[in-house]
Amino acid sequence: MSGLEPFGARLRRAMDERGPLCVGIDPHASLLAEWGLNDDVAGLERFSRTVVEAVADRVAVLKPQSAFFERFGSRGVAVLEKSVAEARAAGALVVMDAKRGDIGSTMAAYAESFLRKDAPLFSDALTVSPYLGYGSLSPAVALARESGAGLFVLALTSNPEGGEVQHAVRSDGRNVAATMLGHLAAENTGEEPLGSFGAVVGATLGDLSTYDLDINGPLLAPGIGAQGAEPADLPGVFGAAVRNVVPNVSRGVLRHGPDAVALRDAAERFAEEIRQAVTSS
């Protein structure tokens, strides 16, 4: 199986050319209703197709949230498969937001679902949970390397409940989040221009200067827009690592639908604001 160019290299180029923006595809029931769509497979398909057609040819990354498709069963997953294929064909990189995490053969099967090059849901990267131990992700790491894909590992999430795990201090004095960042830095050692193994770090967390975010890999940063963070906040949160941040905007763009031009304009505005914030820091 011949792999693609490594995800990190492809992501760096896409962010430099299209701007460092990830647009989420989150077709939850309330947003479908705002668009005047029914909460059914037809509404799901119309929503997803509209977003892909509006922005996939101009943003660096699209991030479908698999749960909002899975809730419709096999027909919803079929819509997800089509959305992923069409987004990638238009030039966007696809990060599948599935947050999978398990051990052994089960983790390997999750990896094959999203990271095997000929899989129906093959994506450029996958979000994963390391809280069965970072080593449990080994099958996903190995397959990502083989196929030229990447991973985004939950490290410092913005939900308040995350702290009870992520801020827990280990016997060596480091907390769990710092440990995960250290593992990722090791995975990315020597990679140029950017490693393929990134962390999920919330843009709403404020000053993170006590953490070493320079992992030579991308930092997927939810929280821009409706969750309260602004593009101008990024340098203060991420410091010297800000150039490797992939800010995720979902509702801030999606609320402008179903008008495709309005969706496109919103995505371009966010991309430009983020580019200015990152390059002026």
Residues with catalytic annotation? 99
DSSP string, 175-210: BHHHHHHHHHHHHTTT-SS--SEEEEE-TTS---TT
The per-residue b/e assignment along 76-98, b for 16 or more CB within 10 angstroms, e otherwise, is beebbeebbebbbeeebbbbbbb
Q: Which helix (H) or strand (E) holds 62?
A: strand 61-64
Q: If we measure between CA atoms, which residue out of 159, 115, 158, 107 comes closest to residue 134?
A: 107
The per-residue b/e assignment along 188-207, b for 16 or more CB within 10 angstroms, e otherwise, is beeeeebbbbbbbbbbbbee
Q: What sections of the chain are H helices per DSSP?
A: 7-18, 29-34, 41-55, 67-70, 74-89, 104-115, 138-147, 163-166, 176-187, 234-238, 251-254, 260-279
d(Cα 272, Cα 1) in Å, to the nearest integer?
A: 38
d(Cα 273, Cα 275) in Å, to the nearest integer?
A: 5
Q: If we measure between CA atoms, which residue out of 22, 148, 28, 8 comes closest to residue 95?
A: 22
| Residue 127 amino acid letter | T
d(Cα 58, Cα 92) in Å, to the nearest integer?
A: 7
